[in-house]
Amino acid sequence: MKLLIVSDVHGNADALDRIIMKEKQWDLFVFAGDAVGRGPEPNEVIETLRDVENFVGVLGNWDYAVITGKVDMARKEEDKENVEWTRSVLREENMYWLQMLPMVKELDIDSKKMTIVHGSPDVILYGYVYPWTDKSALRTYLRETELLVVGHTHIPFVFEWKTKTWGHRILINPGSPAYPKSGAKPSYAVLDTECWRVKIKTV
């Protein structure tokens, strides 16, 4: 099974389209949140995601700000203005689709438990899981699930944990195809469940 894993598109329809055109097909499209915010095309991004086959996804912190109008998460005045602008232009059916996204999604993938969350399992919308996060913390997250997909940091990385007790467990952050941070390139991830191999790909 091929899992196409994407996060933090942030209203950039071109970035999302490039991924879809490059990969062409998948068995499951996994989205780790933040469809909107920052970028100029929130409706186009949501409508693309609505049409994606075999889609499963969660709400991101910017998505939450847009559907609720709460801008306390915004550090800059321009971010607050962007949330308000996005709310004003988002079509009703697209706002409804955004509102229907869960904050956490759990499902079975080839007899393994997969958990999707935007931030971290303990701070769902706003938690940060970085490549340099303490390994003991990463292992703690993976004690509850065999495959954990997160976003939010815009920095791609994969952490694999192989033990006799817990088996082979994987944490994936696909990064962002629209607004990468800390020197990262625009990215997403692909997981092949036949061999449980993850590839971080550039857009």
Mean pLDDT of 148-153: 98
Number of folded domains in the chain? 1
In terms of Cβ atoms closer than 10 Å to its own Cβ (0-12, 13-18, 19+), residue 133 is middle
Q: What is the CATH number of the domain that holds 34?
A: 3.60.21.10
pTM for the full model?
0.96
Give the mean pLDDT of 101-125.
Answer: 96
Sorted by sequence, the CB contacts under 8 Å of residue 152 that are 6+ apart come out as: 7, 8, 32, 33, 34, 60, 61, 118, 119, 120, 126, 127, 128, 129
Categorize the per-residue pLDDT at 75 as very low, low, confident or very high, splitting at 50, 70 and 90: confident
d(CA 40, CA 17): 14
pLDDT band at 74 (very low <50, low <70, confident <90, very high): low
Cβ count within 10 A of residue 70: 11
Say what the pLDDT of residue 60 is. Answer: 98
> Which residue reads 């899981």 in tokens?
129
Is the pLDDT assigned to residue 73 strictly greater than 80? no
Exposure b/e, 7-24, CB count within 10 A at least 16 = b: bbbbbbbebbebbbeeee
Distance CA 157, CA 173 (A): 5
Look-up: residue for tokens 């939450």?
64
Instruction: Report the percent of the chain where pLDDT is more than 70.
Output: 99
pLDDT, average across residues 50-72: 94
Provide the pLDDT for residue 41. Answer: 98
- Give the structural domain span for 110: 2-202
At 176, the amino acid letter reads S
Task: Give the C-alpha separation, 66 to 78, whole Å.
Answer: 14
**For 16-41, what is the mean pLDDT?**
97
pLDDT band (50, 70, 90) for residue 70: confident
Q: Which two tokens stand for residue 132?
A: 């340099």
Burial 147-172 (b: 16+ CB within 10 A, else e): bbbbbbbbbbbbbebeeeeeeebbbb
One-letter amino acid at 74 equals: A
End-to-end CA distance of the chain: give it in Å, rounded: 21
Q: What is the average pLDDT value for the chain, to the nearest integer?
A: 95
What confidence score (pLDDT) does residue 55 get? 98
Instruction: Reply yes or no on whether the pLDDT at 17 is more than 80.
Output: yes
